[in-house]
Amino acid sequence: MNPYDQYMKEISQPMRDELTEAGFQELTAPEQVDDFVTTTKGTSLVVVNSVCGCAAGLARPAVRLSLDSPQKPDNLVTVFAGQDREATARMRDYFEGIEPSSPSIALMKDGQVLHFIPREEIEGHEVEEIVNNLTTTYQQYC
């Protein structure tokens, strides 16, 4: 591993841990993404994680807080944009018709996107607004 990749791995680890400690499974390879999307039943919250400030200050805290809701997704997964590039690209292939966005949050069921929150609905918004967006979506689909 070159020094840049090693540095980025070390820098991003706490950002990964923030989600895995909340119960998210990391998908780091395209094959893992394909397996997850094609075999998982029920609702799945997919977080496209990133190192940007809006992921740190808004997306990850909002996602974690939203999981306090009585209704929540059956499955929690994450891919890391800019780090696990191939896995992220493969997950985005399943977001048909949706422009790539980092960070972003998708609620999927049986491989289909039911609701998508792009960066534009994260950056510049309050954590509470994002939590409300998510919990309202959970109430509708979960």
The residues annotated as belonging to the active site are 52, 54
Please give the full DSSP string across the chain, using - where no structure is assigned. Answer: --HHHHHHHHHHHHHHHHHHTTTPEE--SHHHHHHHHHH--SEEEEEEE-SSHHIIIIIHHHHHHHTTSSS--SEEEEEETTTSHHHHHHHHHHSTT----SSEEEEEETTEEEEEE-GGGTTTS-HHHHHHHHHHHHHHH-
